[in-house]
Amino acid sequence: MKIDKLHAVRVIETIEELQQLLSRNERKGATVGFVPTMGFLHEGHLSLVKHAKEQNDIVVMSIFVNPAQFGPGEDFESYPRDRERDLKLAAEGGVDIVFMPAVQEMYPAEGGIRILPGPQADVLCGASRPGHFDGVLKVVLKLFNIVDPDRSYFGMKDAQQLAIIETFVRDFNLKTVIIRVPIVREKDGLAKSSRNVNLTEVERKEAPIIHQALQKGEKLHTEGRAPNQIEHEVMNFITANSSGKIDYVKMLSYPELQEVTNDRTEVILAVAVQFSKARLIDNIIMSTKDGSYVSNDDEQ
């Protein structure tokens, strides 16, 4: 087993080694919480770790920039990477094991078998990124089989991805339990993201407009405005206050990601905005439960 002594965290690079370490016999009843990431860690990732530590005996984090979920012309090569910084933050956060496989380790051969997501992948990010969620489910299934976690932690910022993974786990009887973790934001409201470093100085000042627009949409929803009216108002607000190009502004049922109907108690208002070198996504999930209005937008 490879150990990074500088950061006092176990770093494992091969599937065989990790599976041996985390076999059910070796665990002796200890529970494993899993935090899958693509690295360049920030407070959002560490929030996942915090939740995992509170609920499990062992915390495993994967750091793997998954080429299968990047399409032609997307930012796979330029996606930010910093091994030493990531290991330091993982150790400080209390991660026990970091799995950092090479691409060849994860994808030594291509047999042509695909995992195709359902209609949840045809909207929002999936509409403009064909094949993206095929690649997400491919790597997620591999990681679940490798780590065999009791619980797996995903942030609500990637709400479409989370909905698809929850459906995948349910429909295919995967053993892990998916835990939703609220969005973590900068003080000005911008959702934490590894891609935020790619914003120019001007764009970084504009980016909080996205969250402000979502809050405006949330207020309109509480007032009973129709989804298409809310989408229109949010789009106009972003366009008027930033240089970003809107990919989508959409209000849908959650987690089904279908057209909102009167009987739906949980809905998502989701946004994607393309800046010069960074595509930012954000959302607010709103629901009415027991007559009370609640929102997922509660962790700063």
Q: 51: annotated binding-site residue?
A: no
| Secondary structure class of 265 (helix, strand, coil) | coil
The yes-or-no answer on residue 7 being catalytic is no
Q: 40: annotated binding-site residue?
A: yes
Q: Which residues pair with 181 in a beta bridge?
A: 155
Q: 158: annotated binding-site residue?
A: yes
Q: 221: annotated binding-site residue?
A: no
Q: Give the span between the Cα atoms of 244 and 203, in whole angstroms.
A: 8
Q: 39: annotated binding-site residue?
A: yes
Q: Give the span between the Cα atoms of 138 and 113, in whole angstroms.
A: 10
Q: Following DSSP, what letter does each residue of 45-65 receive, concatenated? A: HHHHHHHHHHH-SEEEEEE--
C-alpha distances out from residue 122 to 119, 127, 132, 164, Å:
5, 5, 10, 11
Cβ-count burial 209-237 (b if 16+ within 10 Å, e if not): bbbbbbbbbbebbeeebebeebbebbbeb
Q: 41: annotated binding-site residue?
A: yes
Q: 135: annotated binding-site residue?
A: no
Q: 215: annotated binding-site residue?
A: no
Q: 291: annotated binding-site residue?
A: no
- Spot the catalytic one: 7, 45, 132, 221: 45
Q: 298: annotated binding-site residue?
A: no
- Known binding positions for beta-alanine: 69
- Known binding positions for ATP: 38-45, 155-158, 184, 192-195
- Known binding positions: 38-45, 69, 155-158, 161, 184, 192-195
- Known binding positions for (R)-pantoate: 69, 161
Where in the sequence numbering do the catalytic residues fall? Answer: 45
